[in-house]
Amino acid sequence: MGINQTHNSVADVLMTGITYLGDGCSFAVVLLCMLIARKYKLFLIGLVSILAVTLIVQIAKHAIEAPRPLLYFQNASFVHVVKWVSVHYNNSFPSGHSAGAFALFCYLALIDNNKLRGLLFISLALIAAYSRIYLAQHFFADIYIGSIIGASCSFVVYSLFEFKNLTKTPVLCPKAAEAALLAEASLG
């Protein structure tokens, strides 16, 4: 609980807002943007990713029924609680917000060609996961496994949708390949 002990009033407000990056509503806003932009394939990839994450996390949460920090430590005074945040007591493992944040931001990193933004996306996922410990909602193991579930689902779903593109041999230099094909055709 060392992370939870490093707190101040500004961080309380920031972490309360940041934690919503892992909420399903954040992913819904991104999916709505994909629909508005008529990027139906990307919408479908994102939708399948978040549905898979939700299904896996909810089944695991209700099967495992792990206590959250406040219940585990029996309302101990050393657990920092933000006054306006409703702290839950059950179904801690795995963290749904961490899974959602990693699913969302890995999805965005995969569909965006700008690798610097990809680094930003992964940083946002890490901060959202950190906020769950800061707000005394989860243990490290909860967010760790949640992050693996979220990132894996986005990666697997994206890979399945892009499988047909992965089965072709990549062309490293398209102009050279085109010139070689033209030269071969003129010889034959």
Q: Is the dihedral of CA 125, 127, 128, 133 positive or negative?
A: positive
Amino acid 75: pLDDT: 61
Amino acid 174: pLDDT: 63
Average pLDDT, the chain: 87
Q: Which residue has the higher pLDDT, 27 or 171?
A: 27
pTM of the model: 0.82
At 124-181, the pLDDT tens digits run: 999 999 999 988 888 999 999 999 999 999 999 999 998 766 555 555 566 766 777 6
Tokens of 168: 């072709």
Task: Give the whole-number percent of the chain exceeding pLDDT 90.
Answer: 56
Torsion-angle region of 67 (φ positive above 0: left; ψ -120 to 50: alpha; else: beta): beta
CA dist., res. 101 & res. 125, Å (int):
5
Helices (H) and strands (E) in the chain, counts: 10, 0
Looking at the predicted structure, is the pLDDT value of residue 117 above 90? yes
* 2-187 under CATH 1.20.144, yes or no: yes
Amino acid 149: pLDDT: 98
Looking at the predicted structure, is the pLDDT value of residue 116 above 80? yes
